[in-house]
Structures are given as structure tokens and as C-alpha cells.
Structure 1
């Protein structure tokens, strides 16, 4: 099952459940739950108020919307985000999907509440036949599984 859910503590901000804009769209648009101004060259995590559940054989890949850089001068600071299935309900932040944006302009740029800032695409992945799986349980996100 794949499903976006509102994180309870953000429900009063009325997060937008992502949906595809057309029948052939691959991406689910992810929107900000608050107004945020990014100063020149600044990186900020844009909150969505959402978490996502999916099969353990999939990940949600987060890509920039094509209009983001062209119209606003904003880019994903990590190029592509990867949200693993075990990020859901982690004890640190409940699996809150946050979008790391950088302002590449020389002037402040404002994201408005409800503005679509990225798109998530569900993709299946494969494992190697000789993989040795670690039994480590995820406790948070943003680099928590590596050094």
C-alpha cells in the first residue's frame, strides 16, 4: 500500500495531500505548509506536514518541479531526495517529509503556504543477490543511516 498521511501535530496547518496533476503524471506534488523566505544562498527545510507509507521494496524519490528553478531560482539542495519505506513513523520526526531547498538568487525568495515545491515519484528498487542485510532500525532521517 502507498499512502500519504497528515502528521497529527501539523493537522491544524491543513497540509495538502499530494496528487498527480494529470493521468499520465508520474510525480505527486509536495507543497509547503507555511510561508518561508529563503535569503540569498540560504538552505532551508520546507515542511510538508506529511509522511508516506509504501512497500519495503519501494522508495519515494523527490525531484524538483521544473518551474522551481526557472521561476523562483530555487533548487533542491540534495539534487534528488530518497525517502525509504522505513522512514515512515521513525521516532525522531514521524517520517516528516521535508524538502531541502537552496536559493541560488541574489535576492530573497518567498515560498507561500500551499505552494508546490517538489514532486515525489514511487520507484521500486532491487537488491543484490549476495546482500547481507543489517538489522539496524531507523531512528531518524537526513543522514541518519550513514556517517
Structure 2
């Protein structure tokens, strides 16, 4: 039985996308790279496609963190601080679970991001539920932000 991992979304199958991997034996995070060349304009949110989706167990999520080199050297951050990919985001009907990184450029100069540049790291996490947790029948019906409508 598959427990957790990464796949390439169908629209990026033949575009040379590499699956995330850890860089050292003690690395917690799996590196995500840009699937296309992108320019992060100053003082603007830029969406960076990864061409990837992640599957995991129902009581897990994938946390996404900007790589420190991009934050320190180029003034980039994830616009929401940390991304959270829920287990039911995988293969959702709107965007197939495509992980897209929303990056903010705090600087005054545009930042060129080439395809293959490692942008963020993903770390799989377990989570806990409160006593008597109840879901009001909500199911994911789409992609980014779909559970908050």
C-alpha cells in the first residue's frame, strides 16, 4: 500500500519534471523546483508551478517552506508563510492537486527563477484531532482555497 509520495500532474508529464528528493540523509524536507521559467516582480505575489502533486495518508499533511537561500539572498517568501497541502488536495477535480507556490518578492528588483531552481521544501506531518471532532459533510470540491468558500 502506498503511504506518501509525489507524482507529476498530467499536464507536465513530458516536461522534464523531477520528483522531489531530500539532499542529505538528515534533511527533513523534499525539495520542490520551478516547473517553468518565472519572473517574481518586486512587491508582487507570483505563482510558481511545480508540476507536482502529493499523496499521503488521511491523517497527514504536507507543509511547504521557502528555501532559506531564496529568502535571505533574494527576499522571497511564501505569501502565506507556510503552505499546507491536505491529503484530499491530491487529484482534486479542479487542478489535479497541482502544488503551486505563491511567492512574494519583498525586494525592489525582479527575481528571475529558472526552471529547475529549487524553491521550497516539503515536509510530511501527522496531525491530531480534538475529542468529538465532527465534519459538517464538507468535501473538497476544487483546488487552492476551495475549502474556505
Partners of 1:134 and 1:64 in 2: how far apart? 33
Alignment partner, residue 47 of structure 2: 45
Partners of 1:98 and 1:64 in 2: how far apart? 12
Q: Which of residues 87, 93, 100 is equivalent to 1:85? A: 87
Alignment partner, residue 72 of structure 1: 74
Alignment partner, residue 63 of structure 2: 61
Alignment partner, residue 108 of structure 1: 110
Moved over 4 A (4+): none
Partners of 2:40 and 2:22 in 1: how far apart? 27
Helix, strand or coil at the partner of 1:89: coil
Partners of 1:65 and 1:73 in 2: how far apart? 11
Partners of 1:87 and 1:74 in 2: how far apart? 25
Across the aligned residues of Structure 1 and Structure 2, the Cα RMSD in angstroms comes to 1.0
Number of aligned residue pairs: 147
Partners of 2:80 and 2:18 in 1: how far apart? 23
CA shift at 1:140, angstroms?
1.6
CA shift at 1:129, angstroms?
1.3
For structure 2, the 5+ residue unaligned runs are: none
The answer as to 2:91 corresponding to 1:124 is no
The alignment's TM-score, normalised by the length of structure 2, stands at: 0.95
The alignment's TM-score, normalised by the length of structure 1, stands at: 0.96
Q: Which of residues 21, 24, 27 is equivalent to 1:25? A: 27
CA shift at 1:48, angstroms?
0.5
